[in-house]
Chain A
Amino acid sequence: MTSRKVPEKLIEMTKENLAPRQPTTATTGLSRFRRSRRVLPGFLPTLGGTLLFLSLIILLPLAALAIKAADLSWADFWMQISDARAVATYRITLTSALLATLFNVILGVWLAWILTRYEFPGRRWIDAAVDLPFALPTAVAGLSLATLLAPNGLIGQLFAPWDIKLAYALPGMVTAMVFTSFPFVVRTVQPVLADLDPQVEEAAAILGAKPRTVFLKVIFPAILPAVLAGATLALVRSLGEFGAVVFIAGNLPFQTEITSLLIYTKVAEHEYEAAAALATVVLGAALAVLVVMNTIQGKLYRRLHG
């Protein structure tokens, strides 16, 4: 019944293809806008809806936080965030989060490699299990890790004779952070690895590259933007991790106390302004990491994909 008319979109696409190409690859902001115009109907309602949700769920609480912190005078604010105990928590949080992220990058790339390059029984199960840390309440993870790594725990007792403390010390905190942010690197690197053109590796091999060279000079640069993206998410997640870490950290001020726990303590002591001040530091740090890493990652990505 329907009449077969050539869709307008097709005609336009054809016109676009036939039109002489600009010699430069640069596109103006306007033409970029126009190209994406018709992918979804109703640009304004969708944008409006997105902004509304973004405001309600993310921006509003953040603004409330800033407003609360603004109750403090600059001097008080500075005193709260530069307090020796607070500074110690920054150091501890940052150290363990960086270690956890480094671990996650190595482990994540490794696992993504195995999952994309090999076909073996149980591969799908492992693939599904990667997401478990997201599914599990982080407190549960923290508890079970603490049980395992405690000096009398299944793994902890292996290290106890050498006086190595896992739980209630840095190794335990790092383990908890690794656990909760593990899926990020795997899940960002995996699709990129799967999409790599095998012929690019063959081209390198035929030019005389050994497998190690192929990985370092051809594969790694190609997945680097994805690795950075995953590492950024993992780092930011670890910086803010609370549930898993509190159960395993021991929470000794100046030794194993992380910033989010200090914030929690301040709240429990009804020092809301102090809690808000510390929270703005965490927020600022996370934002800075995101901005810097996204800029680097974006540059790399554009070089690879235009």
Chain B
Amino acid sequence: MSITAKNIKKTFGRYTALDGVSLEVPTGKLVALLGPSGSGKTTLLRIIAGLEFADTGSGGIFFDGEDVTQVPAGQRGVGFVFQHYALFRHLTVAENIAFGLKIRRRSERPTKKAIAEKVAELLHLIQLEDLGGRYPVQLSGGQRQRVALARALAIEPKVLLLDEPFGALDAKVRKDLRRWLRRFQDEIGLTTIFVTHDQEEALEIADEVVVMNNARIEQVGAPQEVYDRPTSSFVHRFLGNVNQITLPWGGLIDGSTAHVEDGVAFVRPHDIELVHFSEDRDGEAAVVYDIHAAGPVARVSARREGNNESVEIELPRSQLALLRLVEGDCVLLRARPKHPPVSEYAI
């Protein structure tokens, strides 16, 4: 089912959480709402879920074109997963999963057998077959979050919404679980929106990334696109490391990857090329003052000769070795030309 948000405004007292936000999520896509805290991403998700309602006079929420703006959360048919799981602690894992089905009116409630089958199927899906009788307090964080997901899926929602689903988990579990979510989504094809402030997470698993800042949407696009071609200085700064270089800069060439805004060029550290200084080449002169070569990528810091501005450059260690660079060397910097079109050699 597709989700449309049209011109959503939301204020809490004097604080504006959403300032006229519009969003279109096509059927079957996995979309990430990415932004710093306070950017309005969670509020937008909650309004889509029906846990929060947009200010009167603003636009609405549409599921498959149908206006659900005034429909309460319980009737929207959405699955929602909270950051801190929000499991029912007095119920076992199996009872938690069955909750949404058991509370239905008798006429709409599946039979006991059907509910038990559904629970077994979901326990299998989240790979916790043997733990149906446990209580949430006996589970690890990652297991609890999977139970929360199964509970949300039990009512067969048309949309799945996840609010920082991996935020409370440790790094390893977080990675496993997000890849699991991606595979699950590929198989089921449920329209899914998840909120995150972790750019790596968004870039890794989302079909589409919605970057939010200051109650507005900054940019929408495929992960590669928002990373490679940010349309605003905010997106540039928020996604990955970036050098902010005051113009004029000798190393800025036409057709480079640099994004220029208000007399400042934004260039990622790995998009800067570095060569030893020589009179006959173009580029901005700088002096290397720090070389950090631990890990697969070497990081070189240099100071511009003109204004002492610090610039970071990332390059493969093999290349650093070839350059025989030492601290104090004079170098020339320039922004790398735009990426050549992606070749098709990957299957």
Task: List residues of A whose CB falls within 8 A of some B CB.
Answer: 25, 197, 199-200, 202-210, 213, 217-218, 221-222, 224, 300, 303-306
By the criterion CB–CB under 8 Å, are B74 and A206 in contact?
Answer: yes
**A207-B103, A221-B90 are known contacts. Are A202 and B84 too (CB-CB below 8 A)?**
no
By the criterion CB–CB under 8 Å, are A205 and B73 in contact?
Answer: yes
**A25-B138, A208-B74, A306-B138 are known contacts. Are A199 and B84 too (CB-CB below 8 A)?**
yes
Tell whether B107 is near chain A: CB-to-CB under 8 Å.
Answer: no
By the criterion CB–CB under 8 Å, are A197 and B103 in contact?
Answer: no
A218 to B: closest C-beta gap in Å: 6
By the criterion CB–CB under 8 Å, are A222 and B51 in contact?
Answer: no
Of A207, A210, A222, the residue contacting B99 (CB under 8 A) is A207
**A197-B86, A208-B100, A303-B90 are known contacts. Are A203 and B80 too (CB-CB below 8 A)?**
yes
Q: How many residues of B contact A (CB 8 A)?
A: 29
In the complex, what residues of B have CB within 8 A of residue A197's CB?
A: 84, 86
Give the residue name and chain of the A residue nearest to B76 (CB). Answer: A206
B195 to A: closest C-beta gap in Å: 14
In the complex, what residues of A have CB within 8 A of residue B80's CB?
A: 202-203, 206
Tell whether B220 is near chain A: CB-to-CB under 8 Å.
Answer: no
Tell whether B137 is near chain A: CB-to-CB under 8 Å.
Answer: yes
A14 to B: closest C-beta gap in Å: 15
In the complex, what residues of A have CB within 8 A of residue B152's CB?
A: 206-207
Interface centre among A197, A202, A217 (most CB of B within 10 A): A202
Interface centre among B72, B86, B135 (most CB of A within 10 A): B86
Residues 211-255 of chain B, each 1 if its beta carbon lies under 8 Å from chain A, else 0: 000000000000000000000000000000000000000000000
In the complex, what residues of B have CB within 8 A of residue A206's CB?
A: 49-51, 73-74, 78-80, 152
By the criterion CB–CB under 8 Å, are B103 and A209 in contact?
Answer: yes
Give the residue name and chain of the B residue nearest to A208 (CB). Answer: B74
Q: How far is the CA of A207 from the CA of B86 in the complex (A)?
A: 12
**B39-70: which have CB < 8 Å to A?**
49-51
Q: How far is the CA of A217 from the CA of B86 in the complex (A)?
A: 14
Tell whether B155 is near chain A: CB-to-CB under 8 Å.
Answer: yes
Q: How far is the CA of A221 from the CA of B136 in the complex (A)?
A: 14
Tell whether B75 is near chain A: CB-to-CB under 8 Å.
Answer: yes
Tell whether B124 is near chain A: CB-to-CB under 8 Å.
Answer: no
Of B49, B79, B88, B103, the residue contacting A200 (CB under 8 A) is B88
By the criterion CB–CB under 8 Å, are A204 and B73 in contact?
Answer: no
